[in-house]
Amino acid sequence: MHCVRKVTDDLYWVGANEKRLHLFENIHPIEDGVSYNSYLLLDEKTVLFDTADWAVGRQFIENVEYVLDGRKLDYMVINHMEPDHCASMEEILLRYPEVTVVSTEKAYMLMQQFGFSVTDNFHQVQEGDTMSFGKHNVVFVEAPMVHWPEAMVTFDTTNGVLFSADAFGSFKSLDGVLFADEVNFDRDWLDEARRYYTNIVGKYGPHVMDLLGKAATIDIKMLCPLHGPVWRKDLGYILDKYVHWATYEPEEKGVLIAYASMYGNTESAAQILAAKLHEKGMHNLRMYDVSKTHQSYLIGEAFKYSHMALLAPTYNLNLFPPMESFMLDMQKLNLQKRVVGVVENGSWAPQSGVVMKEILDSMKQMTVLNEEVSVTSSVSKAVYDELDSLADSIIDSMKQDYKY
């Protein structure tokens, strides 16, 4: 049975929710699912904006058939060719063989690579090209590396709707929701929107800023992303979040304490540091065991907070692997502009601090605080005092409005 929602008088959400998949892109846990959004415009011409993952293909096709209600499909605009959005293209091509596919040159290449039979029925567009579907006129805006090189967004100049591809998307299935103002987004969705953005698109901040620069020149009334809710109110809220994430500026003054601990001694140091920070008035603090927390969550938190404390034991005369993996992920995602306290542990040849600092040195505008703490097996009185000093140093750096 169909399950659709009306976005405007003549635009429908015809996407579907994925609640069975455990790992998005087979890497990121999605305990609350994800939506694959697709939109169908009923104008003088009928226009489908993107499709959906094949896993939800049956629901998606039912939705398209219901909204078309016997009309033929004239156009299929493909803003993004990653298979979570384009996989059902093939079924659309089979069911609506007269459809014209509209997308970029690079997207056409990907269509061939994925084996979709798009040839004469392809209409290539590039930056600034326009099309009219009757009442609605659209302009195409290239958005390379948001999140793949072929990506574009489509702006409906008639009603101000921006079909924004992966931009402004989020993890979590919609479960009946269509608009962001139907939920408490800040409380219930923001963490998952941040985790989606930072892990999927975080590396490409400058490209996202390019797109935001183009977006600032058009009068956007509504954001229709390919995942998560549609934005029709308070667009400044999500745009502000995107500016922070894309420029690697922290959203909040606060501390992410990420620790690794084999036998509980490094965790003890983390607990003492957390207690000292609270005692000294820093209550915006989250603490995670990197061995138990999927690093996609750690990445989201690292993008959120201004400060980090990283505590890890030495392992094979190197850094404990889950901490190394988390830190290398931060490095690959281009995280910058953070103040970091480092605490190492080693019973006979401590090395983890050296490796952590090497990784931090290879990142941009990361400040490692001078209070380096080295635990030898368990927390001594001297280390306890050093943790107290590290807490002071973290708080002092916040007061100084730290320049990285």
Binding site for ligand FEO (CB under 6 A): 80, 82, 84-85, 147-148, 166, 226-227
Least Cβ distance, residue 80 to ligand FEO (angstroms): 6
Q: Which residue has the tokens 């957390």?
A: 274
Least Cβ distance, residue 36 to ligand FEO (angstroms): 8
116, 93 Cβ separation under 8 angstroms: yes
Question: DSSP secondary structure string, 329-385?
Answer: HHHHTT--SEEEEEEEE-SSS--HHHHHHHHHHTSTTEEE-S--EEEBSB--HHHHH
Q: How far is Cα 55 from Cα 68, in angstroms, rounded to an integer?
A: 22
Least Cβ distance, residue 227 to ligand FEO (angstroms): 6
Least Cβ distance, residue 226 to ligand FEO (angstroms): 5
Question: DSSP secondary structure string, 61-120?
Answer: HHHHHHHHTTPPP-EEE-S--SHHHHTTHHHHHHH-TTPEEEE-HHHHHHHHHTT---ST
Nearer to ligand FEO, 20 or 403 (CB): 20
245, 198 Cβ separation under 8 angstroms: yes
Q: Which residues contact 3 (CB under 8 A, 6 or more apart)?
A: 16, 59, 62, 63
Least Cβ distance, residue 288 to ligand FEO (angstroms): 26
Two structure tokens written together for 389: 């000093």
Question: DSSP secondary structure string, 261-325?
Answer: -SSSHHHHHHHHHHHHHHHTT---EEEEETTTS-HHHHHHHHHHEEEEEEEEEEETTEE-HHHHH
Q: How far is Cα 180 from Cα 174, in angstroms, rounded to an integer?
A: 10
Least Cβ distance, residue 123 to ligand FEO (angstroms): 22
Nearer to ligand FEO, 80 or 172 (CB): 80
- Output DSSP code: residue 232: -
Nearer to ligand FEO, 35 or 306 (CB): 35
Select the residue whose beta carbon is closest to ligand FEO and give its number: 82
The one-letter amino acid at 4: V
Least Cβ distance, residue 85 to ligand FEO (angstroms): 6
Nearer to ligand FEO, 52 or 310 (CB): 52
Nearer to ligand FEO, 227 or 338 (CB): 227
Phi, psi of 19 (to 5 degrees): -120, 0
Nearer to ligand FEO, 152 or 270 (CB): 152
Nearer to ligand FEO, 25 or 249 (CB): 25
Q: Which residues contact 122 (CB under 8 A, 6 or more apart)?
A: 100, 101, 102, 103, 108, 111
Residue 225, helix vs strand vs coil: coil
Least Cβ distance, residue 18 to ligand FEO (angstroms): 11
266, 343 Cβ separation under 8 angstroms: yes
Nearer to ligand FEO, 228 or 346 (CB): 228
Nearer to ligand FEO, 166 or 301 (CB): 166
Nearer to ligand FEO, 85 or 172 (CB): 85
Q: How far is Cα 345 from Cα 333, in angstroms, rounded to an integer?
A: 26
Least Cβ distance, residue 133 to ligand FEO (angstroms): 24
Least Cβ distance, residue 229 to ligand FEO (angstroms): 15
